[in-house]
Structure 1
């Protein structure tokens, strides 16, 4: 290479690194438009110096996709992310960011676009990659198993989701210990998407373990604690223990109220279930105020003609007829 060309390459490389630092600072400061413009300039220099398919390009492409995603320009973010992944797959271990992080970003974009089938396919592709590794990171693998399990469980594929949660649980227990909060999360997910033909007592046991862990950890999120309490209450209700079920629903309701206030939509399912426990036991005076609160939330969230709203109205009418 001629000396003048070598010098120009050196200067361009120095400018490229400066732009990457500037883009990182802009992203950290949530100046996403500035970050995008800077990343685009850095990318053009990288293409000039290294070529259009060099592994060096994954860095600016990842940052560019991040800036576009933050601005809600999902199609552009997906294009940048897809290009980075193609380069990283060809480059192998030399890519930075590594391929798993690039795939995670694409998954986030696809989720924002509402493309559940594409997200599932991507998660399966990522899982296959982990399965080929000799010693995959247990935290990363368990997180992926958990996310795929949630996706499948919400689509009704409980039989396929359940073993994924069990694997995630085993990995987290092995890597973090039996009392870690992420173990509680895995237990909750495994219990929530429990296979329908398995005994309710198994679900209850997992939820009790999750609750013990959550109650002992001051950093637990209120939403997780409330969800564990609600689902444990439902398990006790299914097992016929109405007294403990009511007490657990009361605790779940208090936890949700502390988190989102007395009028948050998330209170509705717990209000209804607690009202039904009181209703079934003949405690109509306790059930009616809960039904009425749930009705107000349902009308505000779903409208007066929604089937859920109509069902709550019917329960209120029936309870009033017995009072």
Structure 2
């Protein structure tokens, strides 16, 4: 290489690194339009230095996709992500970020686009890749198993989802010990999407163990994502205890779930409605109408605001109120 060309290449490389730093700083400060502009310039420089298919481009393409995703430009983010993935697949282990992280980003974009079938196919592709690895990261793999399990469970494929949650649970216990919040999350998901033909006692035991973990490590009065998990565990354990014929314990758990959810989301959030209704129905069935009615009325106000006055759920709550009032 002629000396003048070597100098120009060195100078362009220095400019490229400066642009990468500029993009990283802008992303960290949520200046997404500024980050996108820096990424675009960095990509142009990298193409000139290394060529359009070099593994060096995966980094700025990943950052560009992140900036576009943050601005809600999903089609552009998906195109940038797809190009980074194609380059990383050809480059193999030299890609940075590595292929699993690039695929995670594409999954996030597809989820935002509401493309559930494509997300499922991508998760299966990612899982196959992890299964080919000699020593995959257990927490990354467990997170993927958890996400695929949730997707399958929500579409009704519980029999396929259940072993994924069990595998995620085993990986988290091995990596983190038996009493970590991520273990509680895996227990909660496994219990929530347990196959329909499994006994309620099995679900209750898993949820009870999850509650025991979070009671030790989560302060529901302080901010944090774990508080939502606490509220959900309490509600679902209440439902399991109710199914096992223990309405008194179920009511106590629903009361705790309401307290946790109110601390997290306030007193009129839609997430409170199911617990308000379940607790009201326990009181209603026991003849404690004066305790049931205020709960029903709160649930009705939330349903009307969230779902509208003509929704079947709103109508059902109104009917229960009418029936309760007729007995008071």
Q: What range describes the TM-score normalised by the shorter chain of this pair?
A: over 0.9
CA drift at 1:321: 1.6
In the aligned structure 2, how far is the partner of 1:271 from the partner of 1:222?
18
The alignment status of 1:181 with 2:185, answered yes or no, reads no
Q: Specify the alignment match of 1:295 in structure 2.
A: 300
- Name the SS of the counterpart of 2:313 in structure 1: helix
CA drift at 1:262: 1.3
CA drift at 1:287: 0.8
Q: Specify the alignment match of 2:157 in structure 1.
A: 157
CA drift at 1:218: 3.3
In the aligned structure 2, how far is the partner of 1:68 from the partner of 1:22?
16
Which blocks of at least 5 consecutive residues in structure 2 are unaligned? none
Query: Which of 246, 251, 266 matches 2:251?
Result: 246
In the aligned structure 2, how far is the partner of 1:313 from the partner of 1:194?
32
CA drift at 1:216: 0.3
Q: Specify the alignment match of 2:115 in structure 1.
A: 115
Contact kept, 8 Å, 2:218 with 2:227, in 1: the verdict is no
In the aligned structure 2, how far is the partner of 1:218 from the partner of 1:227?
13
- Output aligned runs, 1:1-20, within 5 Å: 1-20=1-20
In the aligned structure 2, how far is the partner of 1:263 from the partner of 1:244?
25
- Output aligned runs, 1:299-314, within 5 Å: 299-314=304-319
In the aligned structure 1, how far is the partner of 2:218 from the partner of 2:159?
34
The alignment status of 1:209 with 2:209, answered yes or no, reads yes
Q: Specify the alignment match of 2:55 in structure 1.
A: 55
In the aligned structure 2, how far is the partner of 1:27 from the partner of 1:247?
46
In the aligned structure 1, how far is the partner of 2:6 from the partner of 2:170?
54
In the aligned structure 1, how far is the partner of 2:204 from the partner of 2:95?
45
Q: Specify the alignment match of 1:237 in structure 2.
A: 242
Q: Specify the alignment match of 1:25 in structure 2.
A: 25
CA RMSD in angstroms comes to 0.8
Which range moved further: 251-260 or 289-298? 251-260
Instruction: State TM-score, norm by structure 2.
Output: 0.97
In the aligned structure 2, how far is the partner of 1:223 from the partner of 1:42?
40
Which blocks of at least 5 consecutive residues in structure 1 are unaligned? none
Query: Which of 270, 280, 285 matches 1:265?
Result: 270
In the aligned structure 2, how far is the partner of 1:203 from the partner of 1:218?
22
In the aligned structure 1, how far is the partner of 2:15 from the partner of 2:26?
16
In the aligned structure 1, how far is the partner of 2:75 from the partner of 2:23?
21
Instruction: State TM-score, norm by structure 1.
Output: 0.99
